Structure 1
């Protein structure tokens, strides 16, 4: 929690009184190591979490006393951390993937712009997100934050800067210590289990007033800005919208928001889950991504011409997404469960169509003025690693602009009832992912090989589990 308010002045070495530097009051980030020491001291921070997202978007890292953090300590993690499946296993060698025999260390390089408090800890604690480099200083190609940086560097070479705004859906569910039992909606302040069909219901949000207050308080103390919060269609399903901005900063925010929301929920004796399809018969959870591209010299949106009309870049960006997003689906839908969300005649698209304000298409162009023209990718599920989902979506659009891929005509009717344009299973998605040479070149070959190997290993682990459906329909009938 934040410490009590500090005095605005302190004695100086000359006997006078000096004002507290403004930077120590920053809720998020400092410029250099000198500022780090003052920032930590002003808050009485005792411990530092040095964290970085793994391939699943899970926080990995080390915790240490704040004095050790500021004493030029070298931080490292085994490279195997970024080759681990969600269940803690490791993939087999093959298809371009080779597990490093020495399992050498990768260096953690703190990004000081992400320094922030950890408000749910009882002892004064701070966290900082780190990048990964090899021992000789080279960037590690296959780690998620670096994959996104690689795509943004390709935009930068063209004088372009992407702007994104994620929307994250999640469920609140009762505590479920036994995974053999289905998840169920929590009990709200009314004392009754939450029901579905409460889309945009204020009363639905009010059922969790105290929890939502904690989410807001935790977010504010970390410098995380929530744009809006709504109740979605599912029973106990909420959605948080974030302000638009730099892709790395927004991926960092999603990464931190997931931790924040889980911790706030646990404080109230319930779970928050970002599974794509946690409850049978209820809608899935998405992470929609709004995207626009800015010309760095002019500062203008390249999707809009001077007269306000759509540009060739706009249509080519969509064309690239139509062609390559199906091949990148494993980065938007990374688990077997993700494909339970992608079903026909549902709000989650199984097509690669686009349309103006058409929520049945994969790529929706919301109504806006020309300066705010953007493309919403509605395919990603909330279980996706935000760094990888943003990297994949922006990479597909950039390939379209580079190769001038022509977009199909916009769809004016329901697009999600009949045609299926996306892979229907995890392994099919992995095969398409590996086969797309242009996408692989942009994302990095070592990342593609590593991520594909992890997904194949996760599928094999899933296949070891016998489901209730098999026991119900096969046990006595076959």
Structure 2
């Protein structure tokens, strides 16, 4: 069967001898042939997805056949150039871990049209319910059913750290073509679509800490790994350099990297991206770190070890839909001059839009903390500097203060932005993005912009609400998430599935 490029070439051979009507009839026949080549309508919808300033990741119109052909032509050229032999169809599970199926490259076009089947349980791995006899039959059937990985072709990249292998990020759909409601990426795109409908776009980036452990040459059951001591020494430079260069080739550009506060801890800061691209980049980083480390005989962990905090910070700002103006700035364009003034009150560094957004984050901080710090060990850092640890701690914010839950920064060429410091490196980046947008949108829809100042007052903004409090126990955070009507239903059910053993129907 000819591909669409061959068909279009056949139609153009005698173009000079054809009338306008003949050419139009030929084009219609060509489109019918392409449609018959197993490119389904749902696949076409995802084939030409933008990956920069489109906050939704959704196309409002089905791309035309030439657009589909152009995307596939580019991918085929990439396969030939890099001698690619395998393609991974990757999706995130509830924990943010990559789950994939690989196919031989010559089956790629066929699998783009048909999708790749995967057991739903691979993406919804949850503890087995106690007492098998109590499992609801419908839920068990749903959990053990197949789903289809539908690729987003704009995310196709050759993997520099995997020989002759490429990957494409997918979203799962049911066998009948409906979105899987527990898909973290689907939830994030849904919230970004709401944000875009309100007239905003999101520019954001993740900053991650992870731990690097060295291994001896010989492994046996009693082997104990140890932290790599000097991460920026000459001995460790090959790993870091290959990681940073490889991530850039895979589409996740690293702006900076360094050793962090503890031996064996590395900090990576990704370059900001609009829309779903920021979470896609974080997803790429999390998988890439693991694979490159193994090549250099290291083991890496994003998990929060005892006494060691691995952060997963989301730095973000609101822009207009065209991505031209930062709407957190108090003036037009950039707000460098305003932000660098030492006489400016911290609350005045943000525009009304920025203050309302921040108010939404503060209001929902208790529920947010459940999604952003989804393990008991993650939450210990909330009270690590308190002399009198209690069950709850106040949600704080400040200007250029990294110890606060929400840190407002205005220095730098991108203008004002808010760092959400509640997150740990174990959190799923798509859920972090979805929950942050949902909470911020709720703040934008509110009528007030009064914020407690860094010292608990509210200078010049009227009476401020009492500072919200973040529970330290995961059980209390789960209760706060369940009671929060703002955050998406999907993330609430996700967390209960993961930590309570409940299944999504």
Please tell me the TM-score bracket, short chain as reference: 0.7 to 0.9
User: Does the Cα contact within 8 Å between 2:147 and 2:175 map onto a contact in 1?
Assistant: yes
The structure in which a higher percent of residues are helix is: 2
CA distance in 1, matches of 2:85, 2:408: 47
2:302 aligned residue (274, 282, 296) = 274
SS at match of 2:277: helix
1:386 aligned residue (429, 441, 450) = 429
The answer for the alignment partner of 1:198 in structure 2 is none
CA distance in 2, matches of 1:38, 1:166: 31
Question: Which digits, 9 at most, give the CA deviation of each residue in 1:367-424, with x for residues without a partner?
Answer: 32696111111110011111111111222111111123544322159xxxxx993221
Structure 1 unmatched ranges of 5 or more: 1-13, 15-27, 187-192, 195-202, 414-418, 459-478
5 Å matches for 1:93-242? 99-102=139-142, 103-122=144-163, 124-175=164-215, 184-186=226-228, 193-194=229-230, 204=232, 206=234, 208-242=236-270
5 Å matches for 1:41-52? 41-52=80-91
CA distance in 1, matches of 2:119, 2:397: 42
5 Å matches for 1:265-414? 265-276=293-304, 278=305, 280-281=306-307, 283-296=308-321, 299-306=324-331, 308=335, 310-345=350-385, 351-368=394-411, 372-412=415-455
The answer for the alignment partner of 1:473 in structure 2 is none
Distance 1:205 1:397, change over 3 A: farther
User: Does the Cα contact within 8 Å between 1:107 and 1:135 map onto a contact in 2?
Assistant: yes
Number of positions where the alignment pairs a residue of Structure 1 with one of Structure 2: 401
User: Does the Cα contact within 8 Å between 1:173 and 1:272 map onto a contact in 2?
Assistant: yes
Question: Which digits, 9 at most, give the CA deviation of each residue in 1:51-81, with x for residues without a partner?
Answer: 1011111111211111112124432222333
Distance 1:317 1:205, change over 3 A: farther
Alignment RMSD (CA, Å): 3.3
Structure with max Cα Rg = 2
User: Does the Cα contact within 8 Å between 1:215 and 1:261 map onto a contact in 2?
Assistant: yes
CA distance in 1, matches of 2:419, 2:137: 33
Q: CA deviation at 1:164?
A: 0.4
CA distance in 2, matches of 1:257, 1:335: 21
CA distance in 2, matches of 1:316, 1:138: 35
Q: CA deviation at 1:341?
A: 3.4
User: Does the Cα contact within 8 Å between 2:187 and 2:490 map onto a contact in 1?
Assistant: no
User: Does the Cα contact within 8 Å between 2:329 and 2:416 map onto a contact in 1?
Assistant: yes
CA distance in 2, matches of 1:101, 1:91: 17
Distance 1:437 1:148, change over 3 A: same
CA distance in 1, matches of 2:223, 2:207: 29
User: Does the Cα contact within 8 Å between 2:84 and 2:166 map onto a contact in 1?
Assistant: yes
CA distance in 2, matches of 1:207, 1:97: 55
SS at match of 1:355: strand
5 Å matches for 1:74-93? 74-85=115-126, 89=128
Question: Which digits, 9 at most, give the CA deviation of each residue in 1:75-131, with x for residues without a partner?
Answer: 22223333213xx6468999x997252433222111111111122233x11111101
